[in-house]
Structure 1
C-alpha cells in the first residue's frame, strides 16, 4: 500500500493536471490510473484552447475559461522547460465558422448574449464575413457566409499535454500508480481514506481528489456527493499530411503541427458505445469540406470515437464532500482549455480545504440532485 498526503483518482487530462499542480506544492502526491483499458475521455479531445461561445447562461464559466486561456502560455512554457516535452501550444486566435446562414445567425445570437451577460467585463469577438474571411482563411468555401473571430482562442496537442503533465509529476517527486481501477473508497475514523481496487488496498491518503471521468459519479456517491455525468460520443477524422496551411484553429477543422487535419465535431447519445458510425463520419466530412473544399483532395488516415464527459448543463461540476471535507470531485469536458487553471489554481483549493466562494457556482447543488448517504 502506498501512503500519500493526497491521492488523485483518474489519469486523464483532468487528473494529471491536478496531480502535476499538487506535486509542485506537496511531494507526497499519487496519481492513480486505471490504465489504457479505461474509457479515456481525452481520446476525443480536439485540442482546442477555446473561449469563444462558452458560458452562455453562466458568465462565471466564460470568465473561468478566459482566465485559463490567459494562463496557458506561461503554463505551456513551464511544462516545456521542466520536462523537455513541448505541447504544441499556439494562440493565433480562432474562427468559429458557419457553413450556412442559419448557423451564422445562431452563432451571432449566442455571442451577443454572452457579451450582454459579461457586462463590464466585456466579451471580445469580431464578425468576419465572406469574401473578407478568405484573407485570414485561404481556401474557405464560397458557400460559407462568415465566421466569428476571438483573439483568445488557440490549440495544443492533447497527447503531448498528457505526457508532459505526467512527466512533470514524476520530476516533482509524485507517484504514478497504474493498473488500479479504484472501486471502493473507505473513509477512516481517524481521518483520511483508503482506496481499493477490488479487494486490493492500493493507497491510503489524507486528502482525495476524484477526477475519474465516467467513474466519478459512482466514486463520489460513496462520499455523499452527487456528481451527475453522462457519456456523449464524439467522432474524429484525421487526414494525411498536407502542404496546405491553416493558420488558425476553427470549430470544424484544425491543423496539427505535423501537417495533418483533424475534422469534427460530432455528438451522439449512445451510452457507452465506442463504435464509429459511417453516417456520422460522412456528416463530419461533408461539413468540413463545405468549409474547406481543398480537404476533398486528402486521404483519410484514421477515424475513431471517444466518450466525452457531459454534465446536465454542460458546465463543470466541482464538489467537496460535506461529510468528508478532505474529499473533492472535479468533472468537466474542457480538459485542455481548463488545464492551466486546473494545474495552477485548483491545487491550492485542495490544500486550503475549501472551494472558494467565487467557484461555488460550479457545485452540484444547482441541479437539485440529492446526495446519497
Structure 2
C-alpha cells in the first residue's frame, strides 16, 4: 500500500458517522482521508438495525438534531444517486413508519404526554387506540392498550449506507483505508498539524474523532480525553418470513430504556422486518465494557419480549444472534465540535443507538462549524466542553 502524503482533514473511524462527516467535508471541497483500524462499516455500524427514528426522542437538543437529519436523509440519498448511480446508492431506504405501543393501562398516560410534547416540537405523531393499532399490524398482540404511529420513522441498511457515503468521498478524490490505525496526533504550535498512522506522520489541518465506542480511547491518545463509553446491545435475527411486521414496533418502555444510565441489563421489546424477510428482535442495553460475550439469558429475554408483542413469532426459528457496542455519553447527547484544548481536533460521536439516524445532521453541523457557518441546529448542547464529558474544562 502506498504511503499517504497529506490531506486537508483526516477522519478517524469509517462507520456511519465518520462516513457521513467525510462525505459532508468532501462535498465542501476538502480533500479527505478516512482511516479505520478494521474494515470500513465493520464494527458498530454493522451491528445496527439501521434506525432513523423520531419516535424514541423526547423534546430537546437530540430531537432537534433528529428532525434535521430526517429531512437531510432523502436529500443526501438523492445526491448519492446522482453522483454514483442507482446501484451504488441503493441503501434499502424504507420510510415505513413506526408504532409505539402501551401494554399496560398505566403506560397510556406517559405515552400520551410524550406524544403531545413531540407534536409541539414538530414531530408527526398520531395517537391510536387498540383497534387502530391492530388494524395497522394484524399480528400484534391484543393486549395493547394504546399506541402512537410515527409516519416519519424510517430504516436504511447501515453497511450499504456507510459504503455509499465512502464511495462518494472516493469519487471526489478522497481516500478510504481500512486496516489502518491512527495512533495519535502531530501537534505544532499548540494545534493539530497531522496524525500518526503506523510509523508515519500524515500532515493535515484537522482530525475528526469518529471512533464510535472507541472515541474515548482515541481521545486519550490525542491528548484530549472525553467520556465516551461502550454500551453493549444484542439482536436476534429470525429466518425469512412472509411479511408479519410492517413497521418498527416497540413497547413504550423502550424510550425509558434508551434514556437510562443503568449499568445493569435493560431489555425492552423492539421488533421489525427487513427487506429480505428476516425479523430483527431487540433491544438490550448493558454496560459491560468491551465484553463481546453473547449471554444466553439476554437472548432468552429478547425472545420472550418479542413474543409478548407478536405471538405469531413464538415458534419461528432464530437464524443467528449478534452483538455490538453503542457509544454512550453520561448525559445521552452526542459530542459534535472542535476540542477547545486542542485546536484542529474535532469530535463526532457519542450517539449511542441513534448514530445512523443522526449521521447526516451531525455531518452537516460539523462541516458548518469547520467552515465557520452557523448550523441549522444549535450546536451548544453538543459542545465538547460540557461537564458530563470533561469536568476540568470550562466554557
Match of 2:111 among 107, 110, 115: 107
Q: Give the alignment of 1:35-46 within 5 angstroms.
A: 35-36=38-39, 40-46=43-49
RMSD in angstroms over aligned alpha carbons? Answer: 2.6
Task: Name the structure 2 match of 1:250.
Answer: 249
Unaligned stretches of 5+ in structure 1?
A: none
Indicate if the aligned counterparts of 1:194 and 1:201 stay in contact, CA closer than 8 A.
no
| Aligned: 1:165 with 2:168 | no
Q: Give the alignment of 1:95-134 within 5 angstroms.
A: 95-114=99-118, 118=120, 121-134=121-134
Paired residues, number: 366
Q: Give the alignment of 1:209-228 within 5 angstroms.
A: 209-221=208-220, 225-228=224-227
Q: CA deviation at 1:226?
A: 4.4
Q: CA deviation at 1:294?
A: 1.5
1:212-248 deviations in Å (ceiling 9; x for gaps) = 1233223334556442111111000111111124332
Q: CA deviation at 1:354?
A: 8.2
What secondary structure is seen at the aligned counterpart in 1 of 2:379? helix
Match of 2:95 among 78, 91, 95: 91
TM-score of the superposed pair, with normalisation by structure 2: 0.84
TM-score of the superposed pair, with normalisation by structure 1: 0.89
Distance 1:101 1:287 in 2: 18
Residues 225 and 370 of structure 1: CA distance in aligned 2, closer, same or farther (over 3 Å): farther
Distance 1:371 1:224 in 2: 14
Indicate if the aligned counterparts of 2:25 and 2:32 stay in contact, CA closer than 8 A.
yes
Distance 1:234 1:308 in 2: 7
Q: CA deviation at 1:345?
A: 4.3
Residues 188 and 355 of structure 1: CA distance in aligned 2, closer, same or farther (over 3 Å): farther
1:232-284 deviations in Å (ceiling 9; x for gaps) = 11000111111124332223111111111111111111111111111111111
Residues 371 and 169 of structure 1: CA distance in aligned 2, closer, same or farther (over 3 Å): farther
What secondary structure is seen at the aligned counterpart in 2 of 1:233? strand
Distance 1:364 1:107 in 2: 32
Q: Give the alignment of 1:75-86 within 5 angstroms.
A: 75-83=76-84, 84-85=87-88, 86=90
| Aligned: 1:324 with 2:324 | no
Task: Name the structure 2 match of 1:208.
Answer: 207
What secondary structure is seen at the aligned counterpart in 1 of 2:355? coil
1:119-146 deviations in Å (ceiling 9; x for gaps) = xx44432221212211111111112223
Distance 1:60 1:47 in 2: 21
What secondary structure is seen at the aligned counterpart in 2 of 1:247? coil
Q: CA deviation at 1:82?
A: 2.6
| Aligned: 1:311 with 2:329 | yes
